[in-house]
């Protein structure tokens, strides 16, 4: 078996799974897929797929906050080599990027697909085709990116792909602005949850992602994810097999929020939570827009985080008791490998 330990630190043996099959196979064998699809369609009929609770009938192609109707918009699908080492391995993480979003992050680095409809609407059979093609190309997992607003469509696609031979782990790659109902629908289908935890403070969330309830929603969502899959564990080859991986993007001037997030993860989720502290933030999208006073509208985040701010987030994680940090580190001038 080809291993990837040359790039990543060998994990504690407690977090290695010798034999593991994707959890959805047991769900399929138990005959539960059709019931999940039926529940998914009911969510779309009076949409409560995400915390926006628009209550529209997306089965009739009605649209509101996420601008997505009956079928998911897919922007791209390819083996991704920019994800965490434990996801990309040697052959890449099989990413399926969904278009549009239920958040309005003013700094979004993927704003061209999250805030504009640049992909194609695909029926579940076509999404299943993409997943199976990525598996055939040797990808280590299927990585659904920005799926919060299309959970029912993800469930429909998996119900097609699994009987047709899908056999690699599912990664749910999310902002954490997820409804508990949708997450419970995904129980028994997702092996790896990979949420962001963006903001601790309500006001930051209100201004920067236009969802003042984001911190409360994210905390509840991450706890539910951990309840389902536990701490992140790896296969003998070093790729992730099951568990929770939390990302935190270091933002300029938000050291206190990073400290609060790290402490909460250690105290309320697990001291063994696997965390990727990311330092690649840069001002994009609406950040540099000029307000009436002639200053940037979002002046507080109109710069890169400093090396000191990135280091402070790492120190906060260690001080909270979190020792399972992703091996890659980032400087303010770009990514850098190392501790």
Domain ranges of the chain: 14-336
- Which residues, 6 or more positions from 137, have their beta carbon under 8 angstroms from its beta carbon? 79, 91, 92, 94
* Span 223-254, pLDDT tens digits: 999 999 999 999 999 999 999 999 999 999 99
DSSP secondary structure of 275-293: EEEE------TTTT-B-TT
Taking the whole predicted model, whether its pTM rises above 0.85 is answered as yes
Specify the long-range contacts of residues 301-305, CB closer than 8 Å, at least 24 apart.
Answer: 301/107, 301/208, 301/251, 301/252, 301/253, 302/252, 303/252, 304/252, 304/332, 304/333, 305/250, 305/251, 305/252, 305/279, 305/281, 305/332
Q: What is the number of residues in the chain?
A: 339
Higher pLDDT, 337 or 103: 103
Q: Above 60 in pLDDT, residue 279?
A: yes
Mean pLDDT to the nearest integer, 157-161: 98
Mean pLDDT to the nearest integer, 186-202: 98
Higher pLDDT, 20 or 219: 219
Q: Decide yes or no: CATH 3.20.20.70 for domain 14-336.
A: yes
């Amino acid at each position: 078996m080809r291993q990837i330990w040359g790039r990543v630190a060998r994990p504690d043996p407690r977090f290695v799974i010798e034999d593991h099959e994707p959890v959805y196979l047991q769900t399929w064998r138990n005959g539960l897929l059709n019931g999940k699809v039926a529940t998914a369609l009911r969510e779309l009929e009076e949409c409560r797929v995400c915390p926006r609770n628009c209550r529209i009938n997306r089965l009739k192609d009605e649209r509101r906050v996420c601008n997505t109707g009956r079928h998911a918009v897919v922007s791209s699908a390819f083996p991704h080599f920019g994800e965490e080492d434990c996801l990309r391995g040697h052959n890449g993480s099989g990413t399926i990027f969904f278009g549009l979003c239920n958040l309005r992050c003013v700094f979004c680095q993927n704003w061209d697909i999250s805030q504009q409809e640049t992909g194609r609407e695909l029926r579940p059979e076509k999404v299943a085709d993409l997943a199976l093609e990525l598996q055939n190309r040797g990808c280590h997992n299927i990585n659904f990116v920005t799926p919060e607003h299309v959970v029912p469509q993800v469930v429909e696609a998996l119900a097609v792909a699994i009987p047709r031979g899908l056999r690699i782990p599912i990664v749910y790659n999310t902002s954490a602005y997820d409804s508990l109902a949708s997450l419970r629908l995904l129980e028994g289908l997702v092996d790896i949850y990979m949420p962001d935890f963006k903001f601790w403070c309500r006001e930051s969330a209100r201004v920067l992602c236009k969802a003042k309830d984001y911190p409360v929603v994210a905390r509840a969502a991450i706890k539910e994810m951990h309840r389902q899959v536990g701490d992140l564990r790896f296969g003998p080859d070093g790729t992730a097999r099951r568990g929770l991986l939390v990302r935190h993007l270091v933002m300029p001037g938000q050291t206190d929020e990073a400290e609060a997030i790290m402490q909460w993860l250690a105290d309320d989720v697990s001291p063994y939570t696997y965390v990727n502290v990311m330092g690649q933030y840069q001002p994009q999208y609406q950040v540099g827009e000029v307000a009436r006073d002639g200053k940037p509208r979002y002046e507080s985040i109109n710069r890169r985080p400093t090396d000191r701010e990135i280091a402070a987030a790492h120190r906060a994680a260690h001080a909270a008791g979190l020792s399972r940090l992703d091996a890659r580190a980032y400087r303010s001038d770009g990514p850098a490998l190392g501790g």
